[in-house]
Amino acid sequence: MVNKTPAAKAPDATRRNERSRRAILDAALEIVGEVGFSKLTIEAIAARAGVGKQTIYRWWPSKAAVLFEACMPEGLDPLTVELPDTGDIEADLKTVLRGTVDELRNPKLEAPTRALSAETQNDPELGRQLTERILEPQLQAYVRRLRSAQEAGQIAADIDVRIAIELLVGPLFHRWHTRTLPLTHEYADTVAELALRGLSPR
């Protein structure tokens, strides 16, 4: 048996229409920015993209999956994600965390990003894919940079770098999720300073 469900014949990806694919992704991004995720419907995407509904259902399992692909950087090799390494771990982390703040505050990305973040709570499989294809490559870049800092003696050698990462980015995402206080560069700097103080050798 080839397919999990014998009735489900997989579509032939080699015959796929790239123009339609792009039109769908662009339409989804436009609409979610205009009216929000709850009013983003498959029918509206199809209408704006000038596409049949079946063309969407054929290639994506949900509107969240469409939005996910629409947010994916296209030709970007995940392995190219790299953090700066000037030798000064504090300066480098501040640079990166400030960049994260800028991305989270980017008005063009906010609607789809929040929609996807929300959707991962109720759709663990989507969350798994998002983690694997977007989050994990970035975390691996952190891992490499923090190991480098450990070898330089700037971070205690016995610290689990995965936990170190969460100490750095957790507070930023928490503030973004809860919208309690403004997410600023100053905040990123303070978090970097305090976290590094906790991570440095005694």
Residues touching DNA, count (CB under 7 A): 26
Task: Choose the one of DNA, a copy of itself, none that binds residue 178, judging by a C-beta under 5 to 8 angstroms depending on kind.
Answer: a copy of itself
Closest CA to 112 of 84, 128, 134: 134
Q: Verify binding: residue 92, a copy of itself, rule CB under 8 A.
A: no
Q: Contact, 46 vs 53, CB < 8 A? A: yes
Segment interacting with a copy of itself (CB under 8 A) among 2-10, 32-40, 42-50, 69-77: 32-40
CB of 46 to DNA, least distance (A): 7
Task: Choose the one of a copy of itself, DNA, none that binds residue 192, judging by a C-beta under 5 to 8 angstroms depending on kind.
Answer: none
Q: Cα-flanking dihedrals φ and ψ of residue 169, to 5°?
A: -90, -25
Q: What angle do CA 106, 107, 113 make, to 5 degrees?
A: 75
Cβ proximity to a copy of itself: between 19 and 177 the closer is: 177
| H helix intervals, the chain | 18-35, 42-49, 53-59, 63-71, 89-105, 107-122, 124-130, 136-151, 161-178, 185-199
Q: Verify binding: residue 51, DNA, rule CB under 7 A.
A: yes
> What letter represents residue 160's amino acid?
D
Tokens of 66: 């469409």
Cβ proximity to a copy of itself: between 53 and 162 the closer is: 162
For 60, the 3-state DSSP assignment is coil
Q: Verify binding: residue 44, DNA, rule CB under 7 A.
A: yes
Cβ proximity to DNA: between 22 and 177 the closer is: 22
Contacts of 134 (CB under 8 A, 6+ apart): 71, 72
Binding interface with a copy of itself (CB under 8 A): 36-38, 114-115, 117-122, 124, 127-128, 131, 135, 139, 159-160, 162-164, 166-167, 169-175, 177-181, 187, 190-191, 194-199, 202
Binding interface with DNA (CB under 7 A): 11-12, 14-17, 20-21, 23, 39, 41-44, 49-55, 57-59, 62-63
